[in-house]
Structure formats: C-alpha cells, structure tokens
Structure 1
Amino acid sequence: MSTGKRWLILSHGFNMDGRAASLTITDKIPYLLDAGIQPIVFSAITGIKDERFPHHQFLAWGPSGFRFDFRHWVANKYGRGLFYKVTTRTVSLLLTPFIAIEKLCLGYSSQWSWALPAYIHGRRLIKSGKVDVVYSTGGAWSAHLAGLWLKKSTGIELLSEIHDPLVIRKSPEDQGLAKPSNRDAAFRQKLEANLCAHADHLWWFTEGAMHYAKVRNPNLNTPENAHGFVVMPGAQPPSQSNFATEHQYAEHLNLCHFGSLAKDRSLSVILGALNTLLQKHPEARTSIRIHAYGAPLDSLTIQAIERFGFDDLVIAHGRLEKDSALGKSGRERVIEKMQQADVLILLHGLGEECAEYIPSKLYDYLWAGRPIWAITHRNPQLNEILSDRNAYLSASCNDAGILLSLEKIWRDWQKKRLNPVAGTSIGVQQAVEAILAQIELR
C-alpha cells in the first residue's frame, strides 16, 4: 500500500502545449493536488515551467536528445521565425557527426539520454529523504528507464504509466515474444519486462495493451511482481468560456481531422471514398470540405489530392500554436476548432498496434460534443466506446464501408440531422481516482 504523499513525477514532455504525452499527466495534476499529493516534477526543457510546485527541467545529455529539446526550447522562447531557423539549423549541423556516432553505437530513439540527468537528480532527492514515490509517465520511454534505475538503486516505490505499447507487434499472430532486430525495439522489450518485474504498480490505457503485456510477462500481477491494471486517461473538459453555443449548419459540410498523419493514418482513405461519392453524386462537390489541423499532410494524402484534383476540397491548417494577441493557448484554439466542426474525423491507423491503443484526441472529441466519424482497426474496446456514443463507425480496410459512412454523413448533413454525440464524456478525475484506488488495494 502506498502511504507516501511526496511524489517525484518523471515526464519528459511535461507542460508541452497540446501534446498528448503532456496532457495525460498535466491534466491529472489538479486532482493529485486535491488528493494531498505533493508533486516534484522532472521534465525536459521542452515545456513551460510550472510554478505551483517544484518543477526541474533538464537537457538530455545525448546529442540527438539535446537537438530535439533545444528546438522546442527555442520555439517556446522565441517562436519559429528567422532566429529559430538559424539557431536550430546551426546546432543540428554541429551535432550531426555526434548524432551519427550515437546512432551507430546505441541505435536508441533520441530522448533516451534524458534518463541520465533524471536519474542522477532523482537519486539525490531520494537519498536526502525528500521523495516517497516515483511516478514515471510517457510518452518518451526515458522516463520509465530513469524510474527503473531509481527503483533498483534505492528500492523506492515505483508507479509507471505506459501511454503507448513498448513492444510493437507486427501481426495478429505475433505476441511480441521474439527478440526484435532493431536495437531500440529490443531495448523497449527488455524495459517492459523489467517494469513488469520491478515496478510496484504499472498501468496501461487499453485492455488490449495490458493483455499482450501479460502474455509476454506472465509474472505480472503475481505477489512479488508489479501490480498491473488498465486506466482510461480521459481529458479535461473545455473551460466554460470555451463551450460552444448550439451548432449552426452552414454552406459546407466541414469534416475535420486533428493530429498527426502518416501513411498508415492517412486522409487518403477518405479522399478515395469521396472520389467515388462524387462520381455518384457530383453535386456533393460544392458541399464537402475536409480540414486537417495539427500536422502536415502525409504523402498519400498529397498524392490523392493531386490524383483526384481535390486542391479546393482539402484545407491544411497546420499546427495551431499559442496566440498571444488573442490570449489563447494552442490547446484552446484547437478546442474552438473542434467545436466548430460538423463532423470530427478519428483515424485509428492500420498497424497491429491499433489493437492496443486508443487515440488520445478521442477524449477531447467527446468533450467537443460534435458528431464523430471513426475509422478503426481491430480494437473492440474503442468500437464499444464509439458505438455507445452514437458515432459513425467504419473499419479501416473496408472501402465499401467507408464510402457508405461518408454518404450517410453527407445525407444526414443535408437533412440537418447529423448523429449527435450520446452518452457521457470521459474526464480525468475518474482516472486519478482509479489509480489511487488501485494503489491503495495492494
């Protein structure tokens, strides 16, 4: 049973505006404070320093991690103008040979070396009697590595929150048991095994992720090993000033996607369906618009735009940053755009990891209160959440089903009867309560 109230929180991306790996922990802070937890936060320099409690920011010690952190620090402090371009390119050029050596010798992802200062400073705090519990969360697995080192060297209680699966399976038949040839993947597999053996409490965000972790680590949930469970992270509701008024149907059906795009999570699947729909109903061209917020368009989407001649139908807005003139954070601007959408697009992906993760923006979508069109892949838990909330639901590899959903959305929009979101949103307080309850159980 955990009795200590002084928690050292290890989070590489803490207080990074709009980043999922940051929001998952920063949204919990008010509820942890209400529960009497006294946090001390270690993070990279990539986010905004929190003044409510001790928050120490450290540079990664490796060259690739230093480059990553430096870019974000300059962007936060000076914006992404000329100074950003000159300084970051200069630093990248100077670090290039050292990054090459690092990759050749280790082959790990860039943020691994942040674990080094986090461990050294954390051990000093623990040895001086200022910490009762270490809570690693990520995101970047360097936080878990530092937490594991602290657990092994001091015996302190360790809580570890796994955002995304540490082991990426390749097919439904693959259990993730074989040793990967990629050195970063092999290290993550070993890290998962060590966490399951040595952490006191360990949780995942989906039932699928915990299931496969248990297959690989049958010692999980035995008396002498980690206590594992599932917690849905949820999201904070918009502030009262950000709650939208009643939605107004306008000239266009605005389908809006928020977040990163890639070849396995691409708007091209929707553009292919749209092309077929326009062949059947040419008049729909004047109505439908697809908006992408938060990231550049992926290569498959760009190719589809060119192939179908959809330059006028797809609008790429890029990342919504903090607007000082309006006094709004990037997250607040994103929430506003979500609430203005006719339909929110949720692209799950195509990889086998989809069986083990739920896109974090789903929780913000539910608070936005707009109709959701989700294209999902092999995740019964996600499908159940969406079905219970009246979403338009398609399977990722079913082109006919995607076309059917798009046509239904278009017809419902014409009738001004898009599916309203049903059921309850999923907040953060329930996640904190679940974590504290599970910790107290053991």
Structure 2
Amino acid sequence: MIAYHYPPLCGGSGIHRTLAFSRHLPQFGWQPMVLTVHPRAYEDVGAVPDGRDVPVHRSFALDSSRHLALRGRYPDFLAQPDRWISWWLGAVPAGLRLIRKHRPDAIWSSYPIATAHLIALSLHRLTGLPWIADQRDPMVDHDYPPDPRRRRIHAWIERQSMRRAAAVVCTTPGALSELGLRHPHTDARRLALIENGYDEASFRIAEAAAPAPARSSPFKLLHSGVIYPSERDPAPLFAALARLAAERRIAPETFRLLLRASAHDDHLRALMQHHPGVAGLVELAPPQPYHAALAEMLDADGLLLLQAANCNSQIPAKLYEYLRARRPVLALTDAAGDTAATLRAAGIDTIGQLDNADDIAAALMRFLHLCRTQQAPLAARAVIDGHSRAARTGQLATLLDHATHQDMK
C-alpha cells in the first residue's frame, strides 16, 4: 500500500481512509504492508495511534517547499507532479526491495498525492504486479490543477492508471462518471466505486469520553472542518442569518452556529462584519484532536454540511461521520449533486441551496422546527452500518481478489 497520508501525519481526511483499509484488510484475508514517506516530509506530526500491527516502511522523501527552497522559492520541476516528487527517488528502490523480500500479490496506491501513483506505476511496470489506483477525487478538471504543466502531468498519470491499473477507484458516483467520460474506451468493469466512511472504533472511543447530552438553549449547530471560500462559500448563509436575526426569528439566546477548524477564520470574520447581527450568532473555534471532534459531533443539537454546486461530484468525508453521530443534519448543497443524493438515500431531506439566502433561511427554520419537535430525520441503523470503514474495506478486498485471480483487462 503506497500512501503519503499515514500516521504520524496529523490532519487530512485521506489518512483515515488509508489507515482504516490497512487495519481492516486482515479480516478479509489480506495482509497489508504500507510504504510511506519519512516523517520529515510531514509539516504536522503527532503520535502514532494504537491499533493492529501493520508493517510500515518509510522511504526517503522531502517537501520541496520546506527542504529545497531558497528564500522561499524553489525550481518548478521540484514540484511536479507535487512537492513530494523526491519520494519517488526513495520509494521505487525501497518498494523493489520489499517486493523481492515479501512477494506481495498486488500494489495499491492513493491519491491526492500524485507521486504515490507515480511510484505505483513504476513498480507495476518493473514487476508486473496488478495495481489498484485509489483515485478518490478527479486528478484533473478543466481548471485543475491551476498550473497547466502540472495539469498535463496529472493527466498523463491518470491515462497511465486507466491503461495499466487492474482497477481505478473513485469515492463518488459523479467522479466515477466523469472519469469514464474522459476515457470512453476503458472497460467499465475496471472502474470501481468505494465511498469514504466512518470508523466505528473511533466513535466508540468518542462515545466513552463524551458527556451525556444536556439539551438546552441556545440550539448548537456545528460545522466541523474546513470551509473553503469557493467550494463551501458561507456568504449566503451569513446573509440568511442576518435576515433572520433582523426579523427576530433567531437570536444569540436561542441559536448558535459553531464553525470548528474552518482553516479560513480571517475570511469568515470579514464576512461576519459585512452582515450585521451575525457576529453574535457565530462562533469560530480552533482545531482539536480527532476523537474530541467526534465527541463534539455527538453532543451537537444539529450538524451542518456545506458543499457548493461546483463540487457536485464530491462528497465531504464528514458526511459519513455525521450520519454515524445520529444527530440531525442540515445540508446546504446543490440538490443535483452527489452529496444531496447520498443524504436522500439515507432518508434525510433537510437540504437547502447553498447559493440562495432565501432558501437557506427557509431550510434553517424548518430544520430548527423539526429538531425542537424531535421530528428531524435520521439515517436507519442498517444504512449507517453500510457506510462504515470496515464495510468499505470489504469492497476493497473484493477488488483485490478479482485483480489477482481474474483477468480484468
């Protein structure tokens, strides 16, 4: 398993996907071995979490922006296809040594660090081992990556994975459809959907640590995680809050929006100043450890999800954690996107348009009424179980079985 996102790295939803796969695969008959970077390549390092024993091998890797820059600048070729291209130099020889010693049956690699796919491609071509490319989100779009040279390199890596990998995996139906449209001659049987999910063991730890819910005023609506100014623009939400406050339909005594770990607090403060009355309704909070974040979800009166129409083929990873927390969810997103479709399939219809302040105001007031009357929809237990990381790992194991025992070309 070739992955940049792995402990002791802190932060990023990708780490939970890879970590869960590596921990749950043995129960499906697969023994994982992880090839990742030396910890020096990480900007934020924490403790390695307790868990099942997974062999982890770390190879040479540098972050060009921190280790190879002179006065903050470094040559462009040192960041193609990303800032960790030096990892390729260390990982290919290390991977060959591991393959010769342990004789693995397959190679798996994870985007969004494109160098991981480049390493897997090299090892696949040198050894002939079947390769599964966990693409997750699209590697390219009409304006992504913004740098044209990087976009060309990403496109080349994607073409190689579509040509050579035994399976290419996406996390949403929309991303899978877009990938098929970009490569219409690829056998559709080699395209697979494995969504993100939640980790049940982490929730059990959070539940043990979380205090018993004490519902009281004000109503606490929580958004946990990054708020991108373009992909999750909260400006219409703040406009709706300002209007509802002016109409005295909500007030600081009865309603509180908690934005945890937004990563763009300065941008949010500027928006709050632009909308009178919002500052008293909104609280900005710093990041906190993962299990504490889950405990906060369990304690919230409601959970807020933001996803713009330009991300219709993406689903925030926190959606699955929100479902598992079994707290009411208010989603501000495009009704035609994968996020809304996933919620509707789970029986949740408390959805409003993120780009429409009028619709947000109506959706919020309906949501508050449903919560206060204990009528807000929650996902059924069977639906929630199907979104667990263990269930997703079972899907990966099935792909590995096919890749190693059947001709998928």
Partner residue in 2 for 1:85: none
Partner residue in 2 for 1:358: 315
2:22 is aligned with 1:21: no
What's the secondary structure of 1:109's corresponding residue? coil
Distance 1:209 1:241 in 2: 33
Distance 2:290 2:176 in 1: 29
2:145 is aligned with 1:184: no
Cα deviation for residue 219 of structure 1 reads 3.0
Partner residue in 1 for 2:374: 417
Cα deviation for residue 233 of structure 1 reads 2.6
Cα deviation for residue 407 of structure 1 reads 1.7
Distance 1:131 1:293 in 2: 42
**Native 8 Å contact 1:257 1:344 kept in 2:** yes
Q: How many residues align?
A: 384
Partner residue in 2 for 1:303: 270
Partner residue in 1 for 2:302: 343
Distance 1:40-1:395 versus aligned 2 partners, 3 A rule: same
What's the secondary structure of 2:351's corresponding residue? strand
Partner residue in 1 for 2:91: 118
Contiguous gaps of at least 5 residues in structure 1: 1-8, 68-90, 171-175, 321-329
Partner residue in 2 for 1:408: 366
Distance 2:350 2:15 in 1: 29
Partner residue in 2 for 1:34: 27
- In the TM superposition, what are the counterparts of 1:60-75 in structure 2 within 5 Å? 60-61=61-62, 63-64=64-65, 67=66
Distance 1:332 1:49 in 2: 14
2:201 is aligned with 1:240: no
Distance 1:260 1:411 in 2: 27
**Native 8 Å contact 2:244 2:250 kept in 1:** no
What's the secondary structure of 1:240's corresponding residue? helix
Cα deviation for residue 258 of structure 1 reads 1.0
Partner residue in 2 for 1:88: none
Distance 1:430-1:292 versus aligned 2 partners, 3 A rule: same
Question: In angstroms, what is the RMSD of aligned CA positions?
Answer: 2.7
2:388 is aligned with 1:427: yes
**Native 8 Å contact 2:59 2:94 kept in 1:** no
2:338 is aligned with 1:381: yes
What's the secondary structure of 1:161's corresponding residue? strand
Percent of aligned positions with the same letter in both sequences? 21
Distance 1:10 1:186 in 2: 23
Length-normalised TM-score, structure 2: 0.85
Distance 2:353 2:108 in 1: 36
Partner residue in 1 for 2:59: 58
Cα deviation for residue 266 of structure 1 reads 3.0
Cα deviation for residue 390 of structure 1 reads 2.1
What are the superposed Cα offsets for residues 23-55 of structure 1, whole Å, 9 maximum, x if unpaired?
Answer: 011112232011232222112214655781321
User: Which of 2, 5, 15 pairs up with 1:10?
Assistant: 2
Partner residue in 2 for 1:210: 176
**Native 8 Å contact 2:64 2:78 kept in 1:** no
Partner residue in 1 for 2:192: 229
**Native 8 Å contact 2:220 2:256 kept in 1:** yes
Cα deviation for residue 151 of structure 1 reads 1.0
- In the TM superposition, what are the counterparts of 1:123-138 in structure 2 within 5 Å? 123-128=96-101, 130-138=103-111
Distance 2:269 2:102 in 1: 55
Contiguous gaps of at least 5 residues in structure 2: none
User: Which of 117, 127, 133 pairs up with 1:154?
Assistant: 127
**Native 8 Å contact 1:262 1:299 kept in 2:** no
Distance 1:336-1:49 versus aligned 2 partners, 3 A rule: closer
Distance 1:366 1:304 in 2: 29
What are the superposed Cα offsets for residues 267-308 of structure 1, whole Å, 9 maximum, x if unpaired?
Answer: 333211101111222553421111111233355422221122
Distance 1:408 1:191 in 2: 46
**Native 8 Å contact 1:106 1:183 kept in 2:** no
User: Which of 280, 283, 299 pairs up with 2:247?
Assistant: 280
What's the secondary structure of 1:148's corresponding residue? helix
What's the secondary structure of 2:134's corresponding residue? strand
Distance 1:383 1:54 in 2: 38
What's the secondary structure of 2:379's corresponding residue? coil
**Native 8 Å contact 1:391 1:421 kept in 2:** no
Partner residue in 1 for 2:291: 332
Distance 1:52 1:236 in 2: 17
Distance 1:190-1:168 versus aligned 2 partners, 3 A rule: same
Partner residue in 1 for 2:141: 168
Partner residue in 2 for 1:368: 325
What's the secondary structure of 1:114's corresponding residue? helix
Matched residue type, 2:320: Y
Cα deviation for residue 60 of structure 1 reads 2.0
Tell which deviates more after alignment, 99-108 or 152-161: 99-108
What are the superposed Cα offsets for residues 184-211 of structure 1, whole Å, 9 maximum, x if unpaired?
Answer: 2221111111100011121111111111
Distance 1:115-1:392 versus aligned 2 partners, 3 A rule: farther
What are the superposed Cα offsets for residues 353-394 of structure 1, whole Å, 9 maximum, x if unpaired?
Answer: x12211111111111111111112365432222123324111
Partner residue in 2 for 1:82: none
